[in-house]
Amino acid sequence: MIILAGVAGSGKSVQGRLLTNNYGYIWVSTGEMLRKFSSDKQKAQMLKGVLLRDKEMIKVIEKAISQMDLSKQLVLDGFPRTIAQSDWLLDQVKKGELTVTAVINLKASEKAVLNRLLQRGRADDSAEAIKQRFNEYRKITLPILDHLKKAGIDVYDVDAEQDPGHVHSAIVQAIHNAKSKS
């Protein structure tokens, strides 16, 4: 499994699709799953930029992964977003249920993210919601990268402000480096 980390607007979905199209990986977008499978109450929270509770996220991921062919490389987009979610993931790795090849952290500035998200025009992409997501990403999600590193998972930072082709090349190189280490 390859995990794509980064704030909303950093390009996780674009890169997930490229990995799927170019290498046959299975792309699992938590954002799309949440928009599809969430209750009206959960959708209202997401419109405000609020992350869902850990148990809710884990349920969605468990459901998605249970329907996947685990013999193929999975690209997990947008999970884990908290320490508790990363602990669940690390527990699955420890049990031998999942394998994490690498975490790719797509780094982008708040200005770049704001511009990208406002241009895509989704209902949950208001300036206020984007600012809230960026703040939560910094306070809640970034610490999981250190947590995963301490657990022995390779984390690679990629400059997500480059054009998508250059970002993709950097991701492919990071995955190659991670595979050659194992």
Q: What per-residue confidence (pLDDT) applies to 37? A: 67
Q: Point out which residues pair with 76 in neighbouring strands.
A: 3, 28
Class of domain 2-181 as given by CATH: alpha beta
Q: Are 161 and 109 in contact (CB under 8 A)?
A: yes
Q: Which of 60, 30, 34, 29 is nearest to 47 (CA)?
A: 34
Q: What per-residue confidence (pLDDT) applies to 62? A: 86
pLDDT in tens, the chain (182 residues): 999 998 888 999 899 999 999 999 999 888 777 777 677 887 787 777 677 789 988 988 888 788 888 888 999 998 898 899 999 999 999 999 999 999 999 999 999 988 888 888 787 788 888 888 888 888 888 899 999 999 999 999 999 999 999 999 999 999 999 999 87
Tokens of 46: 């997401």
Question: Is 0.95 topped by the overall pTM?
Answer: no
Q: What per-residue confidence (pLDDT) applies to 123? A: 79
Q: Are 158 and 170 in contact (CB under 8 A)?
A: yes
Q: Which of 76, 65, 66, 67 is nearest to 19 (CA)?
A: 76
Please report, for the chain, the start and end positions of each structural domain, with discontinuous segments joined by +.
2-181
Which is it for strands 102-107 and 26-29: parallel, antiparallel or unpaired? Answer: unpaired
Q: Are 79 and 57 in contact (CB under 8 A)?
A: yes
